[in-house]
Structure 1
């Protein structure tokens, strides 16, 4: 750890707003401590040991020593959209890491901290604009050249349609900050990226393996379907769990896995409704999801499900219970279409800021003809007078010809994957249509 101490001392010396000084009279100083962490590679091997010197936060007062704090965190949908664009347009993807990003904050007041034991006494690349669609996405468009920087705290993904401009961006960042070159994008936020001649494969193999190992399911018998068709969950049936903490940890871990596994979104979403008081059948259902990963009527509220494709893969999806009871299937589908329209509006804005052409109206496929007629007809229907006004947002977008509602047969409605349990054949067909493949199909070995 001596190397870690020395490296951190060097970093603080280069910052003009940090340094050693004599203690002023009547000046309160804060205690400090070292926080140690082992950073591992995607295969689990140790990359390096990290040491971070921090002030003991419990001795600081909100409003006096600090105000609201936040870090730039990109939306995961933005990450998927950017990767899909890069794959379809054959852009190079580079990854960089800001060394000691927390040292680059600008202090608006003087803060004094005790020196650590052993301390020895002895500093926007131009043209980038923050997008309104995502405050962590920065675009530079000049003379027909496009460069993009996506920020997630101190991790950066850099891409664009001009390799020279991207390399210049990396050089500018290295001049401004201490950067670590990570090469082509392979691992980001726990997501693993594999490149091949046919495209890009996004997965969480290591996370899945660690999850199975953590909960003792590494040697479980795999299954091919998540839930039985027409299976129902109830909040009050079944035996109470002795320890509900394990259930909550399992569901929370599976929620993160849905970042690259839209096929489990519906099942995980249903089971997340029982976090407060889970029963034994709920835990059994969660374990069934783990077995699926290994192989790879309480409120009467409907579930909204939608999925958006860019290129050959899904970039945005949703499986969410509606906040109010719908009096008919038409009403439930109408509400779901309105929520999908909101996501379309945001995605269109994001793609515009990425300088991508948009063809209106954007097709939105719905398997309910009555819901389509309600959205296309501006006349106020008596059957929807009780529907909250904001759900009529879809009607406005259809009239402006920004969205084109199209009918699709129920047997071909891929969004059903996010709203109900399906039989094995239908589930697998829809899963493939989302662009999901087994690791072996793209040369990724599984190590479960």
Structure 2
């Protein structure tokens, strides 16, 4: 029997405008421990291309349709699993009388490779007229839509501690030479995250 790990993930739940709604704690499966052909056969990840989003918004504007936002409620927690998947007891929740027992999963958890494929039935909550979508502030007017990413840009500047910085056309001259005495980045993942947010 192959057993995968589990861990806790703590994440803030945001409102459509990007402000804090509540703090969430969730047990997730360590899907990277899953073995192809044993723990899963197929995977699927529904993603939408930016061009598709623009096309749908354009059609809605031309047809003068209202654009509303929906939230899929606990989509991952409704899909059934066809494979036999066993997971360690979550940290801090282990049964003290049976510490070596494992959990046989009946439904998908966040982190499993087949989680998105298994989520075909779910309930949705109507959040009303769209105001904030994928970091873009949206204002619907009689002439169309006004899109702004000023809040998103400010968030990136706050993460980089650069809110009071002065803009420059070129941050570093093209022919700048670095020496072997230059200090390495303390936390490369921090800088990768900032660049990835752009």
Give the TM interval when normalised to the shorter protein: 0.5 to 0.7
Q: Is the 8 A contact 2:29 2:87 kept in 1?
A: yes
Q: Deviations over 1:369-424 (max 9, x none)?
A: xxxxxxxxxxxxxxxxxxxxxxxxxxxxxxxxxxxxxxxxxxxxxxxxxxxxxxxx
Q: Is the 8 A contact 1:32 1:113 kept in 2?
A: yes
Q: What secondary structure, in the 3-state scheme, does the structure 1 residue paired with 2:67 have? A: strand
Of 213, 216, 239 in structure 1, the residue corresponding to residue 158 of structure 2 is 213
Higher relative contact order (CA 8 A, sep 6+): 2
User: 1:184: which partner in 2?
Assistant: 129
User: 1:112: which partner in 2?
Assistant: 86
The CA deviation at 1:40 is: 2.3
Of 27, 33, 36 in structure 2, the residue corresponding to residue 53 of structure 1 is 27
For residues 385-424 of structure 1, what are the structure 2 equivalents within 5 Å?
none
For residues 6-405 of structure 1, what are the structure 2 equivalents within 5 Å?
27-41=1-15, 45-114=19-88, 116=90, 117=93, 176-222=121-167, 234=174, 237-240=175-178, 242-243=183-184, 245=188, 249-254=193-198
Q: Is the 8 A contact 2:140 2:146 kept in 1?
A: yes
Q: Deviations over 1:188-247 (max 9, x none)?
A: 222221112221112222110011222233222357xx57xxxxx85xx21237447477
Larger radius of gyration: 1
More helix by share: 1
| TM-aligned CA distance change 1:111 to 1:48, over 3 Å | same
Q: What secondary structure, in the 3-state scheme, does the structure 2 residue paired with 1:78 have? A: helix
| TM-aligned CA distance change 1:38 to 1:211, over 3 Å | same
Q: What secondary structure, in the 3-state scheme, does the structure 1 residue paired with 2:196 have? A: helix
Q: What secondary structure, in the 3-state scheme, does the structure 1 residue paired with 2:156 have? A: helix
| TM-aligned CA distance change 1:100 to 1:107, over 3 Å | same
| TM-aligned CA distance change 1:250 to 1:57, over 3 Å | closer
| TM-aligned CA distance change 1:30 to 1:201, over 3 Å | same
1:94 and 1:45 map into 2 onto residues whose CA distance is 19
1:53 and 1:95 map into 2 onto residues whose CA distance is 27
2:68 and 2:16 map into 1 onto residues whose CA distance is 17
1:180 and 1:42 map into 2 onto residues whose CA distance is 12
The CA deviation at 1:73 is: 0.6
What is the aligned length? 166
- When the two chains are superposed, the root-mean-square deviation of aligned CA atoms in Å is 3.3
Q: Deviations over 1:335-365 (max 9, x none)?
A: xxxxxxxxxxxxxxxxxxxxxxxxxxxxxxx
1:249 and 1:28 map into 2 onto residues whose CA distance is 33
| TM-aligned CA distance change 1:44 to 1:81, over 3 Å | closer
